Amino acid sequence: MKIKEIIVVEGKDDTRAIQRAINADTIETNGSAVSKETIEKIRLAQAVRGVIVFTDPDYPGEKIRKLIAEHVPECKHAFIEKKYALPKHGRGIGVEHAPPQAIIEALRDAQQIEEDVEEQITKDDLMAAGLIGGPLAKSRRERLGELLKIGYTNGKQLHKRLMMFQISQASFVEALQCVLQEEQRK
């Protein structure tokens, strides 16, 4: 299986993990200090074949993702769940630790971020759902991000991510109900 888009990753280990999972070309940012030359490569790749940004589910990965989205807003974004990005041994978190099936699913679920969309889910909705503040907020946001395929966010970023991916009120409510039902079963 070959993927049309070029995948933007952080480093060589990520490229190897992607290529173990799927036949794809990558651009490596070489960490969070993304150069102007790399941004230009990503722009060209987007114009020619399309781009999927696939960074680690951590602060530096989010920083890279934001920078690329700012300069090349048409890119799609793939997110991997943290549980798949943890190493079996040692420290760190990253795409390079993910099993091939998790990588394939993340790429299949890649979405394009749209800016300036109508607000469907308000911050008050998030507060009422217990996604901001409260003892279960973090675990609820983590599971919600998995179900909606938008990745984990802190409370402050959840509203923005929901808007960027144009998550509908219906999809939000359905995912939230699933999260709450799973909590009750525990």
Q: Would residue 94 count as lying in a domain? A: yes
My answer on whether 85 and 148 are in the same domain is no
Residue-level pLDDT at 1? 65
Q: Given a cut of 80, is residue 127 above it in pLDDT? A: yes
My answer on whether 61 and 100 are in the same domain is yes
Q: Given a cut of 60, is residue 121 above it in pLDDT? A: yes
Q: Would residue 105 count as lying in a domain? A: yes
- State the total domains in the chain: 2
Helix, strand, coil abundance in the chain, percent, nearest 5 = 50, 10, 40
Q: How many CB atoms lie within 10 A of CB 18?
A: 25
Among candidate residues 30, 43, 111, the one with its CA nearest the CA of residue 78: 111
d(CA 15, CA 33): 18
Q: Would residue 117 count as lying in a domain? A: no
My answer on whether 129 and 90 are in the same domain is no
Strands of the sheet with 111-112, listed across from one edge = 26-28, 6-9, 51-53, 76-77, 111-112
Residue-level pLDDT at 117? 56
Query: Residue 116's pLDDT band (boundaries 50, 70, 90)?
Result: low
The interaxial angle of helices 169-185 and 137-148, nearest 10 deg, is 130
Q: 49: domain range?
A: 6-112
- Pick the last residue of a domain from 112, 147, 167: 112
pLDDT tens-digit profile of 128-181?
999 998 889 999 999 999 899 888 888 888 988 888 777 888 999 999 999 999
My answer on whether 11 and 70 are in the same domain is yes
Task: Provide the CATH number for the domain around residue 67.
Answer: 3.40.1360.10
Q: Would residue 118 count as lying in a domain? A: no
pLDDT tens-digit profile of 54-98?
999 988 998 999 899 999 999 999 998 888 888 877 778 889 999
My answer on whether 93 and 130 are in the same domain is no
- Pick the last residue of a domain from 88, 112, 136: 112
Q: Would residue 1 count as lying in a domain? A: no
- Pick the last residue of a domain from 92, 112, 132: 112
| 13-22, 34-43, 70-79, 83-92, range with the lowest pLDDT | 83-92
CB 53 within 8 A of CB 75: yes
My answer on whether 61 and 136 are in the same domain is no
Q: Would residue 91 count as lying in a domain? A: yes
Residue-level pLDDT at 120? 83
